[in-house]
Amino acid sequence: MIKLNNVSKIYNVGGEVIKALDDVTLKIEEGEFVAIIGPSGSGKSTLMNILGCLDVVDIGKYILDGQEIEKYTDDQLAKIRNRKIGFIFQSFNLLNKMTAEENVGLPLIYQGMKDSEIKVRVKEALEKVGIYHRRKHTPLELSGGQQQRVAIARALVSKPTLLLADEPTGNLDSKTSADIMTLFHLLNDEGNTIVLITHDNDVAKQAKRQIRIFDGRCQEVNLNV
């Protein structure tokens, strides 16, 4: 489903060239649960931004569902993000002026879906993450764990093929983190493809496959060893 062929991402800051991704080749199949692990500054977020079509590669090719991403315009990329990808961020990235259910419904509004249909889908998503009872609350009235559930519901609501999570438990305590991880397992069992970015070994261990990244270079971790 996901194919990265010799991908590099290069930043040029004040004359200094930083290779955030350095010749990365990667393949992820549908239904996989992959953890990407590496220290701070190793290029994890850069990788996720490229996988999530938020950013484009400088060198190489990114192919999502057989489509070469570089060829698309801003709005076409927006459409791909909207339909195929669900984002879960470390800092949740919810809109604080909106209630939980409004936040979750937003991707569907951009699809131009009817209000009645949006309502059904939002309820379904909020129930799946167990936060339906707090649907009228704004993010500021919710705990971190609750906010992350709302964010996961928003990622699920458009029934994407790929869930991308960038340190989803980074701002949560260990108990809440465990709950969120349980939720990810459940979603993976239901057939969702999940790419989880983390610098926490304990979290990474729970994935079925681990990829280690260091200085922009990727390496498969052999779990059988």
Partner 1 sequence: MFKQSIKMSFKAISSNKARSFLTMLGIIIGVMSLVVLVSLASGATGSVNDSMNSMGKNVLTTTIMDDKGNPMVQSDIDEILEACPAIYDISPYLSGIANVKNGSQYESVSITGVQSNYFDVKGVELIDGRNIIDIDDKNGNYIIIIDENTANLLFNSIDVIGNQVYVNGYDFTVIGLIESASDDSYTGIIPFNTMTRIGLSESSYKSFYVDSVDQTDFTLAKEQLEMHLTARFSYDDEAFRIMDVTVMLDAMNEINSIMMILLGGIASISLVVGGIGIMNIMLVSVTERTKEIGIRKAIGAPNRSILLQFMLEALVISLLGGFIGLILSFIILQIATVLVSTMTFTISGSIALIAIGFSVFVGVVFGLYPAYKAAKKPTIEALRHSV
Ligand X SMILES: Nc1ncnc2c1ncn2[C@@H]1O[C@H](COP(=O)(O)OP(=O)(O)OP(=O)(O)O)[C@@H](O)[C@H]1O
- Using CB under 6 A as the criterion, which residues of the chain lie in contact with ligand X when the complex forms? 11, 13, 18, 20, 38, 40-46, 199
H/E stretch holding 24: strand 16-28
Residues 180 and 169: beta-carbon distance below 8 Å: yes
Residue 11 or residue 182: which is nearer to ligand X going by CB? 11
- Closest approach of ligand X to the CB of residue 192, in Å: 23
Alpha helix segments (H runs only) across 137-209: 144-157, 174-189, 201-205
Please pick, from the candidates 2, 9, 43, 45, the single residue that binds Mg ion as defined by CB under 5 A: 45
Kindly state whether residue 78 participates in binding partner 1, applying the rule CB under 8 A: yes
Cβ proximity to ligand X: between 16 and 115 the closer is: 16
Per-position DSSP letters for 68-131, written without gaps between them = EGGG--HHHHHHHHHHHEEEE-TT----TTS-HHHHHHHHHHTTT--HHHHHHHHHHHHHHTT-
Total residues at interface with partner 1 (CB under 8 A):
24
Amino acid at 22: D
Indicate the residue among 66 and 112 with the shorter CB distance to partner 1.
112
In the complex with ligand X, the residue whose CB is nearer, 48 or 151, is: 48
**What's the gap between Cα 146 and its chain centre?**
17
Q: What is the identity of the amino acid at 76?
A: Q
Return the number of the residue (11 or 95) whose C-beta is nearest ligand X.
11
Distance between CA atoms of 80 and 133, rounded to whole angstroms?
A: 31
> Residue from 97, 133, 136, 208 that binds partner 1 (CB under 8 A)?
97
Q: Which of 42, 64, 154, 180 binds partner 1 (CB under 8 A)?
A: 154
Report if residue 161 touches partner 1, rule: CB under 8 A.
no
171 binds partner 1 (CB under 8 A): no
Does 192 contact Mg ion by CB under 5 A?
A: no
- Which residue carries 């990329």 as its tokens? 77
How far does Cα 182 stand from its chain's mean position? 16
Binding site for partner 1 (CB under 8 A): 49, 52, 54-55, 74-75, 78-79, 81-83, 87, 93-95, 97, 106-107, 109-112, 154, 158
